[in-house]
Chain A
Amino acid sequence: MSTTLAVPVTIFFASIFTNNILLANYLGMCSFLSVSREIKTSVGLGIAVTFVMATTSLLNWLVYHYILIPLNLDYLRFIVFIMVIAAFVQIVEMIIERVSEGLYASLGIFLPLITVNCAILGVSLFMVIRDYDLLSSFLFGFGSGLGWFLAIMAMAGIRQKLKRAQIPRGLEGAGITLIITGMMALAFMGFAGILNIT
């Protein structure tokens, strides 16, 4: 593999496993906690998050490098990134509503939720801090999305199984989910050192 491709590909796999946005950085917890109750809805949200993460990291890269930097507006990046993400999600929602009613009905609730998913803003900010190029940013966004998808699927499976468990009343819901997330993060520690991104 040529070295120009090796870096982005490493970033892609690292963002799924060793630097999982949810299990290593603990970003995107809110929707993870609330939606992972059912497997079917988790699939829907997982796909939506992956798509939006990949696309917005691309858009934000373009906005950052072609608008914010030339105009010296670097300090506005938090607000601008959020605006780009919110606008993009709105547009996607409108397009999906026009094109496919069925998909809109099954995804409809989650699309607005994505706007407030901190993992998406986090991906865009990491990409700026770590100084990625265009391809790396896109693959980083895509990989982070897949990593988040993987984590929420595993959690949804576990919570399906937990329906038969007798959890102490004080720990039901968010409490036990956070404990399990901690254990999942512990398991993902095993990947440490396999891939490194800076």
Chain B
Amino acid sequence: MTLQQKKKSLIQMQKPMKQMLLALSPLVLASIYFFGWRTLLIFGVVNIVGFLAEYLFARMYGKQVSLAVFVTNFIFALSLPPTIPLYIAAVGIAFGVIFGKMVFGGFGKNIFNPAISGRAFIYISFGYDLTSRFVPPVRGFPGGFSLWLPNVDAVTKATPLVALKNGEVMSRLDLLFGNTAGSMGETFALLIIIAGLYLVIKKTANWRIITGSLGGYAVLQILFWLLGVSGACDPVTGMLAGSLLFGVFFCATDPVSASQTTNSGRWIYGIFIGFMIALIRQFSIWPEAVTFAILLANMFAPLLDYLLKEQKKRKKERAKV
């Protein structure tokens, strides 16, 4: 190393992360349209706290701040209800970045998806604010661009998933165009699909994981539906409702925490997530399952990778003999 080394810029640029940010930006705009300008304040707070959390550790390690932290910030913020108290958002992102990523040595070394870790942490710690204070979205022109926050007198816990579980019928068109209560970024299914497909085409997100998750969910959900398990909706409505699409397209595909060495590993990883989403949504006390499904998959991914590698080795040895 020479002393004349170029001074590193503060932020490390990463191409796939740029594409992620580009794909997420329409969702940020949509969330302002649906839920007013307060969402922008949430994005601001989350980004500042997330950046500081990473900066603190990155400086200690002598590294740059990765662009990935902003992707984490936006994914995390988009998964929050629009009425979230700011301190909860700050606690969540700080937990996610520090305990989900930085204690493992920073970008590329983490076991669990940092955004999902942060979300799971506040989900079980502040249950009331995370599950019972949703507001219906604003419609028409200029929508939320003229508002701070939609009418909070109408707070409800009736997100589409809860309504479906109570046997109410949801219009698929409403779900597709975001005409429902929910977290800031999860309601507009069509936009999520378009942004997700952009990532698949750019090869930032792996299509095997996405297809596996959606397929796994569909298979198990069709089974529940046909067996007439109480509160089981049809798989298409179930897929459009809640954060399933958002989680599958943007979080499950995170290459660091996913099964990352083989294609068969990616398939198994995806299908496992799909199964877990259907199972936890249907039977557990949590209305939203995607967070836990992805954490569980993250937890078993390294073991899966190891077992597949061992199997390959054994096959090779047998071929030699």
Interface of A with B (CB < 8 Å)? Answer: 39, 153-154, 156-158, 160-162, 164-168, 171, 176, 179-180, 182-184, 186-194
Contacts and interface: CB of A to CB of B under 8 A. Distances in A.
Nearest to A168: B103
B contact face: mostly helix, strand, loop, or mixed: helix
A187 B270 CA distance: 17
Contact of A179 (B103, B289, B293): B103
Given A160-B302, A161-B111, A187 B104 contact: no
B284 A157 contact: no
Contact of B99 (A160, A183, A193, A194): A183
Minimum-distance CB pairs A-B, first 4: A190-B292, A157-B303, A193-B285, A166-B105
A186 B114 CA distance: 13
B103 A190 contact: no
Size category, B interface = 35 or more
A contact face: mostly helix, strand, loop, or mixed: helix
Contacts of B104: 162, 165-167, 176
Interface of B: 60-61, 99-100, 103-106, 109, 111-112, 117, 120-121, 124, 276, 279-280, 283-286, 289, 291-293, 295-296, 298-306
Given A157-B303, A160-B302, A167-B103, A190 B295 contact: yes
A171 B285 CA distance: 34
A176 B285 CA distance: 30
Contacts of B293: 190
Contact of B280 (A153, A179, A182, A190): A190
A166 B111 contact: no
Interface centre among B104, B105, B280, B306 (most CB of A within 10 A): B104
B280 A189 contact: no
B300 A183 contact: no
5 contacts: A161-B302, A166-B105, A190-B289, A190-B296, A191-B280
Contact of B111 (A183, A190, A192): A183
